[in-house]
Every structure is written in C-alpha cells, then in structure tokens.
Amino acid sequence: MSKQPKELLKTVFGYDEFRPLQEEIINRTLEGNDSFVLMPTGGGKSMCFQIPALCMDGITIVVSPLISLMKDQVQALKSNGIKADFFNSSISPEEENAVIDRAMKGELQLLYLSPEKLISVSNTWLRELNIKLVAVDEAHCVSMWGHDFRPEYTQLKNFRNSLPEVPFMALTATADKSARKDIEQQLGLRKSKLFISSFDRKNLSIEVKGMVPKKQKLQEIKRFIKSKKGEGGIIYCLSRKNTEEVSAYLEVEGLSVAHYHAGMNAEDREEVQTKFINDDIKIIVATIAFGMGIDKPNVRWVIHYNLPKNLEGYYQEIGRAGRDGLPSDTILYYNMADFLMYSKFADNGANSGMQKEKLNRMLQFAEAKSCRRKILLSYFGEHLTEDCGNCDVCSNPPTNFDGTVLAQKALSTVVRLKEKEGIGMVVNVLRGSQNAEIHAKGYAGVKTYGIAKETSFYDWRDYMVQLANQGALEILYSENSSLKMTEIGWKIVKGEKKIQMTRPVQLKDKETLKKKKPVKIISSNEVNNDLFEDLRKLRSTIAKEENVPAYIVFGDKTLKEMAAELPTTENEFLAISGVGMNKMEQFGEEFMEVIRKYKNEKQSNPKTKKVPTTLTTFYFYKQGFTPDQIAEKRDLQLMTVYSHLSQLYSEGKEVNLAKFVTPEIIKKVKVAFDKNERKFELKPIFEALDEEVPYHEIRIALALILRDE
C-alpha cells in the first residue's frame, strides 16, 4: 500500500476529514476483511470502497444495478484523475472490448458492472483480473425482505465463493433488521462487521400534509416552488397520469419542468434525466422509476404528491434532497385513496402480508403526532434522545400527557404474549376481546387480559403505533409483524423511564396538523450571493464544454465556500472543501480569476466594510480556541483555519504557528522549497516530499521559513 487513506482523501477528493465510520471501514477493508455498510443516501458510502481501491495494486469491482449512477460515479472519478470505467448494457460491443482491454492490461483502478453483466462474464475474462476488492452497492436488492428485490443479485454468492481471499463489501442505504441478516447470507459475507452510520439527515426539514384537496395541493406546490427562486427539486407521484398532469400544470405557470415515468421510451427518459442533472430543467415530476442512481447533490427539495408505499422508499426518496449537506425541504401529501390503491397493489404482489404491514407503517408515520425524525430513525434502529426541531410536528407540537402507565400495560402484554404477536392481538388482549383465537391460544389467562376495556380499539392501535414510533417497540415484518421489546421498552416496564404520549387525534381535529412551517437550518458561512451566481455560471459553461453534469466540476457547497472565503492563490483554493489537486489544475485558475475580479470590483466600489474572515479566525484564536474548535465554530474546513493562521502569522500577528509543525518537517520543506527555486507552490513541494507531508503543514512551514528570514 503506497498511499495512506487520509492523504488520498485530501489530494484526490479535496476533503480534510473523513465522515463518521468511513476511516474504520476503509482500514478494515485494507486488512482484507468483509464489511456490511449501512449508510444513508448522501452519507458517503462510495468513499468507503473508492479510497481502498486507490490504495491497492489491482482492480476493485463495483456491482451496481443503476446504470445512470455508474456513469455519474465514473465521470466524477475521472474528473479527480482516477482510472475508472463501467461495463453494462448501455455500451456498444466495441466499447465493451475497449473496457475489457484496459482492464486486462491493468489500466483500471475501479470497474463498475451491472449484476447481469458480472454474472455473464464471471467465468471468462473477469477471472483473469487482479481483483483486490468487490463492493456490492444497493445490496438490499439481494433480499426478499428488501423493498427493491432483484433476482439476479442472488447469484452473486457464487462470485463471492470464487474469490475466497478477496474482501467483499455490501453497501445500502435502506435495510431493516430482517433484510440485514438476509443480505449477509445471500451474499456469503464472511465474518463481516456491520457498520451503521447515523441516518439523521439534519439538513432536511420534514413536513406532512394530510387530506389536502387536489386543487389546493397543486396551488400549494406552485407557491412553494416559486418561493425557491429557481432551485431544483423532484415531485414524486403515484401514477404516470399524475406525473403528466402535475407537470403540465406547473409548465403553464412558467416553471422549468418535465415529467418522467416508465411508460416513456428510453430515449425520452434519458433526455429528461440528463437535462435535470445538467440543470437545464429545474423540476422533475416522476414516478419512483426516477431517482435511483441520481447522484445530483444540489436537489433542494423533494415533494411526495402521494403517500409512498413504505418508509424505506420514502427515506431513500427524500434522501435525494440536500446531498451536499445544505438546508433542503421535504413535503409529503397523503390521503386514504393513496393508501387503498397501494393496498390493492399489495394484494396482487409477492410477500403481500409484509408489503401491507409496511404500508400500514407508512400511514402511521404520516398520521403521527410526535417528532417525525424520531419515528423515521427509530424504524432504522436509531433512537434520538431529543426532538429534532426541524419537522412540522416539532414546529406545532400537540398536547402531551404522561403515558407511562398506559405504556406499561401495553408493553407488559407484549412480554406476556412472548413477543410473538402483532398489534391487533395485543390490543384485543388488553381490551378483553372474546375472540376465539385468544381463547385457543390461552391468552385469556394472562394477567393483563381485559385491563383496559375502557379504551377503544382505535385509540389503543394509535397508542401502540406511538410506542413503536418512539422506539419502545419494534415491528419484525419477517416474523409475522410481531412486536418486540427494545431497551427503551424494558426501561419503561421496569419504571426506569417515563414516556410522553398524545391523545389520538379525532377527524375533526386533523385540520390543525396543517398549521406549521418547517424550521430552517441557516448556514453560518457568509456567502457572497452575487459571486456565488457568477461561479455557478462559470461552472455551467465548463460543464457543457466537458460534457459532464455541473456538480462533477464542483458542488454547490464547494462554490458557496469559495464565495465565502474568496480564495485567490493556489494554497487558498486547495483549502476549500471539495478541491483536490486534479480539479485545482483543471479549473482552479478560471474560478480564481472570477473571484479576483469580484474582489477588485468590491474594493473599487465598497458599500460596506466587512471584517476579513482571517480576523474572525484570529479573534477565536486569541480567545484560546484550538484550530479544530475554530473550524467547528465557524463551519470551516480545518485546512482553511490553518491557512488563515499562516496568513495571520505572515502579516505579523501574534500566532504561535510553530506548535502546529515539527522542526523536522520545517527542514524538509525548506530543502524542497529551495530546490523548487523558492517558488511559493505547494504541489511541487508535496510531490518532492513523496506526498507524505500534508498540505497544511507545508503551508505552515513556508510561513515560518519566509517570516524568519
């Protein structure tokens, strides 16, 4: 292994720090072990196998069912100077031969294949490759318990068995406990470790609106989109007809919109998707056929025109908003007609019982009266200790009551029924039902039988859902939707924890659920919006010239940081999150020229005097904050803070810069600096030092060398 993961993270991808769990997963993979990675959409799954691929001498095979995502990821990798390609049904026989030739010659670091193609070539030329890692993306497709089962995935176990010494990595954004176990078995993972990243996408606001008439719904959507001033988003509809109707309505209103569904021919679908990715169309109205594999980071909002059929799908679909971490909105509209239609679909489909239970859970989420983020995360096995403050319920909370005694009755009954029964049976026992099945199973003899006759079945069902939503119970769909106790549930039963619940909302009260506004997350960066727009225009021009999506050049988050930090030197530009060496060399000078022009215009026509960003960093430094703390407080990259401190030192400010770098490093940098004719260029020095000294240490060392002379 010639290069270190963290070094590659900065020099290739332009990031200073790994996201949670990424480094541990990468290190485990480099040690030759299997891993199961469960991370939310936009959580950084790809980096978990892309970094190891660059560390290893050989090829990494990536299995993905999403042709559009393969293309996007390969384009992104190539833009960062990485040797990658894809092999799927979208390329011609001539292109296939070219890819095979490059792979056989060892010219590829990553090769993406669809499962169908992998199976068809697994016993031919693929056997000749020096495969060092196999990553199976969208791994939930292998499980019957997953929401997107694909039979061809079940044949991957044979491929795994043919490579016993090669580490395998399964990756997915959506898998409940039943699906997780099935995925490990179906793929033949060996002593794999499960890594579950937080599913909490704090930047997404969550709002639900029930029983809104069609005309009002369309008007609300139109007003919402127009308030977003040209920002892009996706509207998901239940039927093809809906997509066309909603798209036509918005087009008449002068909005940049197109529809997308499986009934369109492949060329038309491809054209719509490409225009959306390239920002030529701002709004897509689509069935759930759209979006799988869309890696567009600047989708600012997602609207569900109808109720989704399960929480896995809903979570994945809203996860297409705000993948760059910037504030984004999600709105869900639902009514009982949606629910009934999906119920009919489930009756005629595979795993009918399980699909209907998941649909019920989706409806329960929509009708919930407690923090929606808590409910959503609880479904995936993650439990928040506090309400999120960024959903409609938190913005307009219902009246709660101490439901501890009520919860203890329900939970005790679940235990007495040996955690084998579902909601209906538990409620019937609580209410003392004379149901024949209760007597046949001997449940009329349990201690809690009939202890809550005064509460209606409807209300009890609501309370049971609240207990599941708050993490006191789990619903295991693979075990006939039986209720299982959680650690939180046991604490409630034992009297170690209290629980707040809400009275069931009567139909006449449901109108009050619409009176809310989602809480917004405000970015702490001071973005120059005019400059941001200029940078976006430049990005669009470059993207068209390069024939790639705009975000492949730079994401919105990176542009916003440029517009806040105003980098005009190579060092400052490299300090921006998302700027690696390859992109610096390709695009850096053009973007810095736009920034220089902006700074010159502001200096010649100053309207307001703004405190330089370096002085703000200096203020926190003088208060005793460490660079890490300053970066966190100011929402900056650590590299940027070190750049500020180096500049402040060069300007004569009292900064103890020497404590951030060793004397040995300073000596090495000085030798390389002198050999480079004392040019203030970081990359030649970085390469001269065998890429072993981080850029921020080189920058600090140069500041010390130049000021001390």
- How do 400-402 and 328-334 pair as beta strands? unpaired
Residues 6 or more apart in contact with residue 389 via CB below 8 angstroms: 519
The CATH architecture of the domain made up of 204-395 is 3-Layer(aba) Sandwich (3.40)
With a cut of 60, say whether residue 609 has pLDDT above it: no
The residue type of 149 is F
Q: Do the beta carbons of residue 549 and residue 80 sit within 8 Å?
A: no
Describe the chain by its helix, strand, coil percentages, rounded to 5: 50, 10, 35
* Fold for the domain defined by 400-504: Arc Repressor Mutant, subunit A (1.10.10)
Superfamily of domain 5-196: P-loop containing nucleotide triphosphate hydrolases (3.40.50.300)
Q: Do the beta carbons of residue 371 and residue 393 sit within 8 Å?
A: yes
What does the pLDDT look like over 640-686, one tens digit per residue?
Answer: 888 889 888 888 888 998 899 999 999 999 999 888 888 777 778 88
With a cut of 90, say whether residue 207 has pLDDT above it: yes
Domains 204-395 and 400-504 share a fold: no
Which residue is it, tokens 């087009």? 251
| Integer CA distances (angstroms), 289 to 168, 239, 262, 310, 640, in order | 28, 11, 6, 15, 41
Euclidean distance between CA atoms 682 and 260, whole angstroms: 47
What does the pLDDT look like over 61-119, one tens digit per residue?
Answer: 999 987 877 888 899 999 999 999 999 988 899 999 999 999 999 999 999 999 999 99
Q: Do the beta carbons of residue 332 and residue 209 sit within 8 Å?
A: yes
pLDDT value of residue 516: 39
Which structure tokens are listed for 191? 């002593």
Helix (H, G, I), strand (E, B) or coil at 32: coil
Helix (H, G, I), strand (E, B) or coil at 138: coil
Q: 338, 319, 308, 353: which is closest to 206 by C-alpha? A: 319
Q: Above pLDDT 90, what percent of the chain? A: 47
What does the pLDDT look like over 310-357, one tens digit per residue?
Answer: 998 899 899 999 988 889 999 999 987 888 888 888 887 777 888 888
What does the pLDDT average to over 17-43?
Answer: 92
pLDDT value of residue 526: 67
What is the C-alpha radius of gyration for the chain, rounded to an integer number of angstroms? 28
Helix (H, G, I), strand (E, B) or coil at 319: coil
Choice between 626 and 605, residue whose per-residue pLDDT is larger: 626
What does the pLDDT look like over 368-421, one tens digit per residue?
Answer: 888 999 999 988 888 888 999 999 988 888 778 999 999 999 999 999 999 999
**Helix residue spans in 228-371 (DSSP H):** 240-252, 266-277, 311-318, 336-347, 352-366
pLDDT band at 144 (very low <50, low <70, confident <90, very high): low
Helix (H, G, I), strand (E, B) or coil at 155: helix
Average model confidence (pLDDT) across the chain: 87
Euclidean distance between CA atoms 222 and 248, whole angstroms: 12
Euclidean distance between CA atoms 693 and 673, whole angstroms: 13
Give the H or E element holding residue 115.
Answer: helix 115-121
What does the pLDDT average to over 129-151?
Answer: 82
Euclidean distance between CA atoms 251 and 246, whole angstroms: 9
What does the pLDDT look like over 493-549, one tens digit per residue?
Answer: 999 999 999 876 543 333 333 333 433 333 444 678 889 999 999 998 898 888 888
Domain range annotation of the chain: 5-196, 204-395, 400-504
Q: Do the beta carbons of residue 115 and residue 135 sit within 8 Å?
A: no
Which structure tokens are listed for 287? 């069935």
Which structure tokens are listed for 482? 């039986």
HSE at residue 560, side-chain half, CA atoms within 13 A, is 17
Which structure tokens are listed for 267? 């060329």
What does the pLDDT look like over 424-460, one tens digit per residue?
Answer: 899 999 999 998 999 999 999 999 999 999 998 878 9
Backbone angles phi, psi at 617, to 5 degrees: -60, -40
pLDDT band at 166 (very low <50, low <70, confident <90, very high): very high
| Integer CA distances (angstroms), 264 to 15, 252, 290, in order | 40, 21, 12
pTM (2 decimals)?
0.66
Euclidean distance between CA atoms 193 and 173, whole angstroms: 16
